Structure 1
Amino acid sequence: MARIRSIKPEFWTSEQVMECSMGARLLFIGLWNFADDLGRIGLSAKSIKAQIFPSDDINSDTILGMIQELSNNGLLLLYTVNEKH
């Protein structure tokens, strides 16, 4: 279930966030809405695209690239449990 989250003003000037592209920053904010209370969300580019960019012409490779960008900047931790990413 989607959660109501707030964006603090410090988000916009965080060095980690500023290193990311505009699309990756929007994806990061969108992920907050669909992650569970512990901040976890399954790594399914198709589901993430449907939830966050439903009417945008963005493909799965672009979504995965932005997720990798967020991870490279220390904003996401990618991991696997029971073969689920």
Structure 2
Amino acid sequence: MPLMARIRTIKPTFWGDDKVAKLTRDERLLFLGLVSMADDEGRFLASNAAVAGFVFPNDELSPARIGRWMKHLDAVGLIRVYDVGSVRYGVLPKFTTHQVINRKTKSVLPEPPPETLL
């Protein structure tokens, strides 16, 4: 995924959100990194290696640890992970509700299945 200049907004209510309250400090950092990583439709490559390279490029974290954090974010509903072929993708279900995109770029990543966004 090419890196483009993107501006993302974190609302003050993020910190008191019920779902966010269920996260560890590291999981919160991961989630904020995924908000930054996501394209203009809230989609991102969700392999542990892709996430580690984007969100934690200077940290030595095991893929298993990142995988556990991703599973927890999915379990509480902050992200949804889906596979297309052998590639794992993720989507932030409420992304377009919380982000204002001035010059939206259409996603090059496959759409998530409709049930993913529920």
Query: Would you say same fold, with TM above 0.5?
Result: yes
How far apart, CA to CA, are the structure 1 residues paired with 2:84 and 2:49?
Answer: 20
How far apart, CA to CA, are the structure 2 residues paired with 1:57 and 1:48?
Answer: 13
Is residue 74 of structure 1 aligned with residue 77 of structure 2?
Answer: yes
State the partner residue of 2:30.
Answer: 27
Is residue 59 of structure 1 aligned with residue 62 of structure 2?
Answer: yes
Runs of 5+ unmatched residues, structure 1: none
How far apart, CA to CA, are the structure 1 residues paired with 2:77 and 2:59?
Answer: 26
Q: Which of the numbers 41, 48, 52 marks the counterpart of 1:49? A: 52
Greater RCO (CA < 8 Å, at least 6 residues apart): 1
How far apart, CA to CA, are the structure 1 residues paired with 2:71 and 2:87?
Answer: 17
How far apart, CA to CA, are the structure 1 residues paired with 2:41 and 2:81?
Answer: 14
* Structure (1 or 2) with the greater helix fraction: 1
Deviation of 1:51 (Å) = 1.1
Following TM superposition, where does structure 1 have runs of at least 4 consecutive aligned residues deviating by more than 4 angstroms? none
Question: If the length of structure 1 is used for normalisation, what is the TM-score?
Answer: 0.91
Q: Which of the numbers 13, 16, 20 marks the counterpart of 2:19? A: 16
Q: Which amino acid aligns with 1:81?
A: V
Deviation of 1:83 (Å) = 3.3
* Structure (1 or 2) with the greater strand fraction: 2
Q: Which amino acid aligns with 1:78?
A: V
Deviation of 1:57 (Å) = 2.3
Deviation of 1:84 (Å) = 2.1
> Whose Rg is larger?
2
Question: If the length of structure 2 is used for normalisation, what is the TM-score?
Answer: 0.67
Q: How many residues align?
A: 85
Q: Which of the numbers 41, 49, 73 marks the counterpart of 1:38? A: 41
Q: Deviations over 1:22-59 (max 9, x none)?
A: 11110000011111111111122112111111111211
